[in-house]
Structure 1
């Protein structure tokens, strides 16, 4: 079955790569690029929540750190985006390690509350450090890069950059999931004491997955910075974190397709309800409650549950024929 999943992902990304050949609408590009950027952020949250059972509520803070690192280095230090982007990812991974050294002295709800507090602190630092971040005025004029004569200021070119970044993220997360490290994380999610009794170094594994999670958040943030061209402290706040969490819950926590599927569905719904402005969450709230009550594994989990049922029905039909 694993090889079938691999071919399915190749088909999905192959079809996505053909979109610019048929689409010329800037609006469609904008929606698609935002879906891919925030899917990467959702994958970063998924490796923590879905694989290790840890809820990181400072996720938007690291998304913002990745974005502001790219913005500051390209605008003020005049670095190339291609250098600033990996530096931003590395800084997020390092700060994730430092956060983990403290945060993993707590567990469960206390961990979530602690990381939420760290996220608020990150927002306040960005908002108040006027000389570096622009404070309330933010950073404006972050420009898109060029590479070997290819101008990423064009929608189609940036679309491919975002698509390639998403494909590499999915590949990385899939490799992690199938590795001994990934299986150890699932054991930790099942119970830390039991994982320790099986010889798993729980603390080290949690630090490593924290670094991976924050690095992916920084990766998405760096893309976001050059795509929108303007950065404000609001993107680092709890609203962004809970929005990414909503994408993940809708798609399926702990699944490989869930972050992409959830982001796709919710972002399309958000675009269709733009006229509701801030009242969108009055609609999304009940949707989230219904998802948790009736589809706790999300849409990807529902699909996984239906597959065995269809297979069983197929065997029954085949048996009747015999």
Structure 2
């Protein structure tokens, strides 16, 4: 049982379930909700790499999500570019802006960094909301084209869009897995544990922090671009701070600093929210306290809490085995001593 809950096994099980999900349900609404969940997961993974593995909480994540969405939308609707060309350019634009903002924001630390990025995120929201001639202002942008064909493959049905987004999610999980288990990932963790100590052993903290910040914004832009082409309409609200807190909630519930946490937290909260829609505004009276208790009793999230419980159980088992071995040695020594007498 303990072996099953290893993160690699959990991720593999969730991936298998995701692949067969359209075959076990005929409800297109469920497919729609799951596709939307995948899009959020990509954004949460970007936030997790920065906050969970490097220790820098960015509250501008929704802003970069909106930049990716608006970049794709403007390039396809106003510049009339090919979808996939616009898609790649949207990711480049988001990453470049992330690089510029990161050069300034990463000169701050801890809560100062969080406050600074909160201000940056709000400025991005205001620019989108007030630049009416470019972004459409509060009216937003409509008529955003869906993903373009790739050879004979078309993305015109909900299921085809589902598998396209799933492909990008799997690619995101693979990239995150490779990063976390690489020397670069260990460098990020060293910065999280003690930035001063990381500097003393020769790690270029500014260079690595800037790298992880740009990677984080890249995945925020990726999720934003996929969101725009999936929903086909966007407004300035997608860049508001509430979106950042939604993503952060998904991460905290699932397990910050874990590989499977973004998947577990996002799926759980999105589906529970959907099931409580019949309560309308009152659903937060149930949802809010449950989340609060979860964060209090499982500060490392569901995945982190389970992993910690299994680790404690393993340590207790090892301690019992060691005590048993010591007891056997003691009995053997006593018996040998008695024989010598």
Could you say which TM-score interval applies, normalised by the shorter chain? over 0.9
Deviation at 1:309, TM superposition (A): 4.7
Mapped partners of 1:242, 1:150: distance in 2 = 36
Residue 20 of structure 1 corresponds to 22
What pairs up with 1:176-255 in 2 under 5 angstroms?
176-255=179-258
- Structure 1 residue corresponding to 2:135, chosen from 133, 143, 147: 133
Mapped partners of 2:61, 2:223: distance in 1 = 11
Q: 1:279 to 1:44 in 2, by over 3 A?
A: farther
Give a deviation string over 1:49-83, Cα, whole Å, max 9, x none: 00110110000000000011111111111112211
TM-score by length of 2: 0.88
Q: 1:197 to 1:312 in 2, by over 3 A?
A: closer
Which has the larger displacement, 91-100 or 225-234? 91-100
Residue 308 of structure 2 corresponds to 305
Q: Report the count of equivalent residues.
A: 319
Q: CA RMSD in A?
A: 2.2
Deviation at 1:151, TM superposition (A): 2.6
Report SS of the residue matched to 2:11. Answer: helix
Mapped partners of 2:270, 2:7: distance in 1 = 24
Give a deviation string over 1:266-311, Cα, whole Å, max 9, x none: 0011101113444444444323321221100100112212333554
Deviation at 1:124, TM superposition (A): 0.6
Please tell me whether residue 147 in structure 1 is matched to residue 134 in structure 2. Answer: no
- Structure 1 stretches of 5 or more lacking a match? none
Residue 114 of structure 2 corresponds to 112
Residue 68 of structure 1 corresponds to 70
Q: 1:279 to 1:210 in 2, by over 3 A?
A: farther
Residue 162 of structure 1 corresponds to 165
Please tell me whether residue 171 in structure 1 is matched to residue 174 in structure 2. Answer: yes
TM-score by length of 1: 0.93
Q: Which protein is bigger by CA-based radius of gyration?
A: 2
Report SS of the residue matched to 1:150. Answer: coil
Please say if residues 66 and 238 of structure 2, whose CA atoms lie closer than 8 Å, have aligned partners that are also in contact.
yes
Mapped partners of 1:11, 1:270: distance in 2 = 23
Report SS of the residue matched to 1:249. Answer: helix
Q: 1:34 to 1:236 in 2, by over 3 A?
A: same
Residue 61 of structure 2 corresponds to 59
Mapped partners of 1:305, 1:230: distance in 2 = 42
Mapped partners of 2:11, 2:112: distance in 1 = 37
Mapped partners of 2:119, 2:287: distance in 1 = 24
- Structure 2 stretches of 5 or more lacking a match? 325-341
Which has the larger displacement, 5-14 or 131-140? 5-14
Q: 1:304 to 1:154 in 2, by over 3 A?
A: same
